[in-house]
Amino acid sequence: MNEQLCEQLRNLHLVGFIHAIQEQSESLQHYQELTFEERLGFLVQKECMRRDNKRLIGRLKSARLKQSATIDQIDFSIARGLQKKKFLELAQLEWVQQHHNLTIIGPTGVGKSFLACTLGDKACKNGLAVRYFKTSALISALLSAKADGSFPRLSANLAKVDLLIIDEWLREPLSEANAREILDLLDDRYRKSSTIFATQFPVADWYQLIKEPTLAEAILDRVVHDSLRLELKGESMRKLTSKVQPFTETFAV
């Protein structure tokens, strides 16, 4: 491939084309019997794949998932109330297309964040916009944006998020001021987009963890009725997967 053509392709941002042409040139015996249209089709396919991968990398970067987690990494054999069929149905993400929410409930270490991130990863791969926050970080971001004048931009960005993951939901009780921020956010997303709430607390305990009763009712009203639930149980995955033997030796004082 001559340098002038290569430069023109670069100017057109057809890097995938360049790589595909080089590949065909280096393996000419595999392509010389193909028609012009067939060889051109391979070039176009290579460029489309490159662009799709680039967009996926961008979505994953923007999502800021807590951890890199994919569905094939899930161990369904561990006893924690996770039904493989049910979770794989959730992974089809029809509930996101219908703008429903998902609440993942379970004790510390049972894998709530990991499962939420696997769904976030799948959503990114399906072309959806995803964003992960711990609850405290989300509230801090909202308050900081209001203080420095960047709230309109943050609000607009969050409005474009198809799947918002709120981790450690209600780990600390919500003050009245923080509850107002959360309510405004959920109100903007109500039946327009989806949210995952990962929490240690059953829904029955939420009301008492939101300090102002009126705000508590409003938040629950926007979350509970349109939410699917995934309830987990069992021991911490950190304990079950630890390679360190339990420490049982005692010492006399």
Total residues belonging to the chain: 253
Opening angle at CA 11, ends 6 and 14, nearest 5: 70
pLDDT, one tens digit per residue, over 188-235 is: 999 999 999 999 999 999 999 999 999 999 999 999 999 999 999 977
Contact between residue 207 and residue 220 where contact means Cβ atoms under 8 Å apart: yes
10-14, 136-140, 241-245: range with highest mean pLDDT: 136-140
Give the SS3 label for residue 224.
Answer: helix
Say yes or no to pLDDT of 252 above 60.
Answer: no
- HSE at residue 116, side-chain half, CA atoms within 13 A, is 36
